[in-house]
Structure 1
Amino acid sequence: MFRYASLLLLLGSAAWPTTLLAQDRKATAATSDDTANNGDQSSGQDIIVTAFHRETRLQQTPAAITSLSTEALKNANIVNADDLQRLVPGLVVTNAGAGQRRLSLRGVRSAGDAQVGVYYDESSLTAPPGTTTDAGGSQSDLDFFDVSRVEVLRGPQGTLYGAGAMAGAVRIIFNKPDLNHFEGRADVTGTTEAYGEQGYQANAAINVPIVDDKLAARLVVYRRYDDGYIDNPRLKLQNVNGESTWGGRLVIRYRPISELTIDAAAYFQNNNGGPPTWSPSVGKYQSADQAYLWFKDKNRLYNLTANAELGFATLTATTSYQDRDVLMTRDPSYLFQIVGASAYAPAIYYQPQSVKSWTNELRLQSAGSGPLHWTIGGFYEDRRSKVLSEAHVVGSDGRDLNPPDVILQRHVGESLKQKAAFGELSYRMFDRLTLTGGLRYYSYDKLVSGDTTIGFAPLGTFVRPYAEFRSKNDGWLYKFNASLKASEHLLLYAQAASGYRPGGVNQVLGLAEALPYQPDSLWTYEAGFKATYLDGRILLNVAAFRTDWKDMQVTLNSGTFAYLGNAGAARIQGVEAELGFEPVNGWTVSASLTALTAKLTEDQLATGAVASTATGRAGDRIPNIPQGTVTVASQYEFPLIDGLTAIIHGDVNYVGDSYSDFHRSTSYFRLGDYFVSNARIGVKTRSWGAYLFARNLFNAVGTTYSGTVLGGRTQVVTTVPPRTIGINLTSSF
């Protein structure tokens, strides 16, 4: 940790920017959800965020928040969540293939429900739990086209955002329909990838006023194709991790009177692809899978939001319905061989899954600029999911047979109903000191069901009748914050906040009984400051934090399958910094840093686990969490001729080391400790742009995940995609 702190001091003397300056002082951050980034921005002080469901200036908001505008995302060539971690301190994204992202913030990472909430505007996204009750490993892919801004809130956000945000939240805020102006955008990208072939992305958006000042619609469509770069020599297949995505959204805005705005939105995304894993023992970018694997993710989301200005307060009512279907396949061939079922290998686990979630929130927030601000609200969620899990014998070519040869079949269902009431109250004293308190009361009722209709004796799995298991819990979440405006240019703050995730009951293969697991919870204590100097040309935001996490939900291992349990406790301590410097107009130098330690404070021991593979000991580092990350970037924007502007952007991202397991075992591998460089150059006018870019310019092989094949000892890894070079053309009218 001292290594990264020293690096912070050294780089600080050389001028690090934060994403605030990287957004370009000439581009305006949105002043509300209605407004895209147009106009002039005088300084980083003008960036507006809505993290607390009200408009506040970023540098005057006493919380660790990263806000990225459309221009910031475009200039850094950020197209999805995988890229987003380059600009957000403490964010780690593990990509296991189509529809299988896991997001973590500030070292909080384990199996179970998501620990970082993902929101499309007012809609929270969810995932099916799968057969191992690990919904957090299947978070939706994110497409950032036609985004007004992305806000990342670091630390527990339980009082306003609930259980899914125990470590933080990522909010993707889309451009809304303009009621008075017809406009459109198009964006086309072509790429070529080392060890692969060509790919492309095409995006378009159109805004159509229907009735001036009253009614408008905004339609967005996009399609992306990546050819892949991993081959499978056993099956004689190339580019098995190719991925295609297509989708769109339609937002209709209706404003019958000036005090009432109603937005109706429909989102659709379809994502297909293969696993981006390969085995170093087979060869660079070579897969060891004995079966052909593929994934599908079909996501539909509908939302209706109404905002009413009541004078003394703003009333917001929102309802969302998500319908998501996921197909996952895995290769258990090595497992079947080890348990003495070699006659059945090779094989696949074939697992279609679905989740349907209906969420509702009603909140009332005070209006005006007085010393007192308050928010009260209620929340309700009804979520249902189901999983079909089968084992299929596959053909000699590794592909599933038609009809399939089913040797194992089981069903898992889960329903979750959550209710909550919440509130926050802030009071400004002496025009400088603001005290904030927040509460959330929650209760949930979870029902897990399932049966095994075709047993498989080598795994100790036998036919079992349908059964149901219920769990309930309720409790409180808290937030305390104090901030001091020491001067016009310096804000000091301290905060304590709690977070949790629901518990439940396992319904998995081979368990003698349906083992329950309890909610896990944490407290984060944080202190920081935000400083702005030279009319916003120098920015410095620093936060130090400590998280105490108990009853951790973790994946445990019976020897032939995984399940969820509570085991151990952890403490995470760290520091984050975002700094910025704009020496002259048009030139920004930028950087951010995270340094942390994330370790167990208690031994991990749980009923039914195999001690050699399932436990951690006090002092073990939490897996897959780097001790530090650093990003340094520079961008220069200058005029060429009348109306034509040139842009040169480059950044270097360093990821420190981590390990794939708590302790030394057959799945204990070192990850990280690598540099990735990116560059982008181009020219633009007010109506079009042309850019040349390179991702992973020096072709680094940085390991982001490592484990072993299911049931075997062969190492599998995911790595940073190899060098990709592309051309991007944009147009607007």
Structure 2
Amino acid sequence: MISRYTCVLLAGTAGLFSATAFAQAETAGEAPSVWAGEEIIVTAQKRSESLQDVPLAISALSGDSLSDRAITDVASLAMAVPSLTFGSYGGQARIAIRGIGFDTINPGGEGRVAYHLNGVYLSRPAATTGTFFDVNRVEVLRGPQGTLYGRNATGGSINVIPRGPTDAFEGYLNLGYGNYNAITTEGAIGGPITDGVGFRVAFSTEDHDGYGRNITTGNEIDNAKRRAVRGMLSFALGETAKLDLSADYSTEDDRNYGNHYLGRASTVISPVGLLVGGVVPNDPRDIANDFDPQNDRTFWGLSARLEVGLGDLTLTSITGYRNNEYSLLTDLDATSAAISRFTFAEKGDHFSQELQLAGEIGRFEFLVGGFYFEESLSGNVAIPFDRMAIGMPALMVQGYEVNGDVKTKALAGFGQGSYALTDTLKATLGLRYSWERHDISDQFQLDLFRPYVPGAELIPAATRDARRSENSVTPKFGLEFSPRKDMLFYASMSKGFKSGGYNLGDIIDPNTGLANDGFKPETLWSYDAGFRGSFADGRVELNANAFYYDYKNLQVSKVVNTTVIIENAAASTIYGIEAQAIVRPLRGLQLEVTPTWLHGRYKDFQSANPADPFNPTPVVLDGNPIIQAPEVALNLAAQYKANVGAGSLRLRGEMGFQDRVYFTPFKERNVSREPNTLLNVFASYTLDNWEISVFGRNLTDKTVIANALVNSGLIGLPITGTLYPPRTYGVRIGYKFGS
């Protein structure tokens, strides 16, 4: 019997074969501009070049393409980018590329996919919200980007480039309304102030009712109240220099990101809340808590980009400052019983400075530079709980609390050069030296006697003041062969590096009872080969690549009792194939097929399963799937544009399939996301400067788990997590003015 996964692969392969067959029938008689898709200029290699000329596994979407697909956040990119998965826990973005991403839940955790806003690195996974509006383009690089991007780019890099000031006065305003009383606005205005000085101001708001309800209090949860604004100034400094300044601010204050009850992790241990008479809702979109979640976050930043032409050279300086503050209050036991509260908070800022010198000398293109990063972060985790959870007389006590400060400094020097050996063959060599230092000063308490009083002083049971530093050299070797225009073969070998560090509160290793000296750095060697091609006067575009990863000391997190710990798995092997075909068989019609196959397994890895507390013996995990890595995925889309009356009509439909995703290394099906298929549709009509559009996402109203974990044994090992949005639909009216 043919499995559903085989059918998915066959469907994707059939689409690619059809595209190849179509490509071989080179059709003459039409100018390429009639059939070719939109050319996207990217800066993935920190120089401007056409997307189809980049010898990397990269996907890029222009602002217009994002609008066509109603992509307004990073989560929606998963339907448009191969090997990209997205989840969220506690309001922190869990972005993974090829199974490599962010999986911890403690303050101070850092992801493996580097997120950049207009060239500035954002270290906080929670800070990606509030950045995705008035976007010029987004670039997603798959695979380690150690040479040019360096810090925490083991899995890849996402670069969001906002629209900047324009030479002519222009702007737009979009107003949207949808189910759940969703009201959205987005707009921008900009243009010249005087000769050589331009500005742009953009904003975005989102409000919607809750996707679920707290059946205990009767209030809605998973609602949204978000605000964001960005201002930019551009100065032409003479004939050869330009200065761009930017400031952005975003805030969110709602009942989002609360824990949903998703089941029990153990067959022999019951969640404490249920044992004492608490209830859980029948609908997983609801919660049953004795209080409502409270989400409060504010992020803002400043950046300056200076480019100076020095003859055949260009000097670029990118300076960034980010300030991040957020807190989340939710129910740890996820039942209606008043057993526990869980507060998660993070506050900090970071400064970054990058210098680049780029040039071209004959057949040689090069870029050299330096990078400096400094971050100060304060974090707090508080879990007051009722002592009856551990068999003591009932009393809500101060319980478990962790707070502390983490400081990080990073320095790097890097360079990359490409030499054209012939008119069709080019070689690339890159190298980066990275040094990082982490300082931690933290303390924790486990107080079973003081009655709970919000804001009470922490009485430490243990403290830690420690420092660790690491360095790494990450090279890259690449070859690219272009036998003709619009055809490129490439191969590369590169190394990724993510530094070690500390996890707030894991002062004592619960596995050993000894002092915890933090976790080690992880490294990854990547071997990647791919192809990019355009055929039949632009009617067909084919992109494909295969990769192999040798992953060492990967950092894996789990909850042990009340503590989140990070341990180093010995190794993992990951390999796979990604492909994308775009076919334009008729004028205005575009078909897209993107199949992905990913094989990721742990090896030489043993760890005790916290969901089986009666068996402290480490379990052999060799051969288990790595987390956040669906083995098979397939995205299909069809889009049609045509002139209708005095305007133009656009119709688009999408299907996205992902097979099972595990959220722990123990291959627990009850802590995984089941295989799922999502369907989206979009339609718009444009007339002069006006556009009206409608959309529908998750049309079949699937309940899909965004992320899940086995929670603390203190409250009986419930499985808690968050969910993707349900079926949403709405209408948007937009108006553009100016050029």
Asked if TM exceeds 0.5, the reply is yes
Residue pair 1:45, 1:536 contacting (<8 A) in 2 also:
no
Residue pair 2:219, 2:292 contacting (<8 A) in 1 also:
no
| Residue in structure 1 matched with residue 276 of structure 2 by the alignment | none
2:364 counterpart of 1:364: no
Return the match for 1:229 from 189, 207, 211: 211
| Residue in structure 1 matched with residue 188 of structure 2 by the alignment | 205
TM-score, structure 1 as length reference: 0.87
Pairing 1:29-428 to 2, within 5 Å after superposition: 43-44=36-37, 46-96=39-89, 98=91, 100-109=92-101, 110-111=103-104, 112-127=109-124, 138=126, 140-178=128-166, 180-192=167-179, 197-212=180-195, 214-233=196-215, 235-273=216-254, 274-275=256-257, 277-279=259-261, 282-284=281-283, 285-333=285-333, 345-367=338-360, 370-392=362-384, 406-428=398-420
Shift of 1:589: 1.0
Q: Identity of paired residues, percent?
A: 24
2:597 counterpart of 1:577: no
Shift of 1:272: 2.8
2:645 counterpart of 1:652: no
Residue pair 1:153, 1:170 contacting (<8 A) in 2 also:
yes
| Residue in structure 2 matched with residue 641 of structure 1 by the alignment | 645
Amino acid at match of 2:67: K
Residue pair 1:681, 1:691 contacting (<8 A) in 2 also:
yes
Deviations 1:690-713 (A, max 9, x none): 011111112122333233444334
> Matched residues in 2 for 1:283 and 1:202: separation?
34
> Matched residues in 2 for 1:271 and 1:577: separation?
37
Larger deviation: 710-719 or 318-327? 710-719
Q: Secondary structure at the match of 1:412?
A: strand
Pairing 1:596-607 to 2, within 5 Å after superposition: 596-605=598-607
Shift of 1:730: 0.7
| Residue in structure 2 matched with residue 36 of structure 1 by the alignment | none
Shift of 1:84: 0.9
Return the match for 1:696 from 673, 695, 698: 698
Shift of 1:360: 0.2
Residue pair 1:90, 1:594 contacting (<8 A) in 2 also:
yes
2:501 counterpart of 1:504: yes
Deviations 1:376-409 (A, max 9, x none): 0000011110013333469xxxxxxxxx985554
Residue pair 2:398, 2:449 contacting (<8 A) in 1 also:
no
Residue pair 2:217, 2:291 contacting (<8 A) in 1 also:
no
> Matched residues in 1 for 2:707 and 2:604: separation?
25
Pairing 1:561-576 to 2, within 5 Å after superposition: 561-576=563-578
| Residue in structure 1 matched with residue 724 of structure 2 by the alignment | 720
Q: Secondary structure at the match of 1:287?
A: coil
2:623 counterpart of 1:619: yes
Shift of 1:600: 0.5
Return the match for 1:676 from 672, 675, 678: 678
Call closer, same or farther: CA 1:206–1:16 in 2, change over 3 Å: farther
Amino acid at match of 1:515: D
> Matched residues in 2 for 1:408 and 1:97: separation?
18
Call closer, same or farther: CA 1:276–1:347 in 2, change over 3 Å: closer
Larger deviation: 480-489 or 295-304? 480-489
> Matched residues in 2 for 1:640 and 1:390: separation?
59
> Matched residues in 2 for 1:708 and 1:607: separation?
10
> Matched residues in 1 for 2:447 and 2:498: separation?
32
Call closer, same or farther: CA 1:333–1:695 in 2, change over 3 Å: closer
> Matched residues in 2 for 1:125 and 1:95: separation?
17
| Residue in structure 2 matched with residue 731 of structure 1 by the alignment | 735
> Matched residues in 2 for 1:601 and 1:253: separation?
51
Residue pair 1:269, 1:300 contacting (<8 A) in 2 also:
yes
RMSD: 2.9
> Matched residues in 2 for 1:564 and 1:553: separation?
6
> Matched residues in 2 for 1:602 and 1:290: separation?
44
2:12 counterpart of 1:8: yes
Q: Secondary structure at the match of 1:73?
A: helix
Larger deviation: 583-592 or 430-439? 583-592
Give the number of aligned pairs: 676
Shift of 1:615: 5.3
Amino acid at match of 2:332: P
Return the match for 1:542 from 544, 554, 558: 544
Q: Secondary structure at the match of 2:213?
A: coil
| Residue in structure 1 matched with residue 392 of structure 2 by the alignment | none
| Residue in structure 1 matched with residue 492 of structure 2 by the alignment | 495
Stretches of structure 1 that go unaligned for 5 or more consecutive residues are 18-27, 29-39, 128-135, 395-403
| Residue in structure 1 matched with residue 455 of structure 2 by the alignment | none
Q: Secondary structure at the match of 2:64?
A: helix
| Residue in structure 2 matched with residue 515 of structure 1 by the alignment | 517
Larger deviation: 102-111 or 438-447? 102-111
Call closer, same or farther: CA 1:612–1:681 in 2, change over 3 Å: farther
TM-score, structure 2 as length reference: 0.86
Q: Secondary structure at the match of 2:366?
A: strand
Residue pair 2:130, 2:228 contacting (<8 A) in 1 also:
no
Amino acid at match of 2:656: N
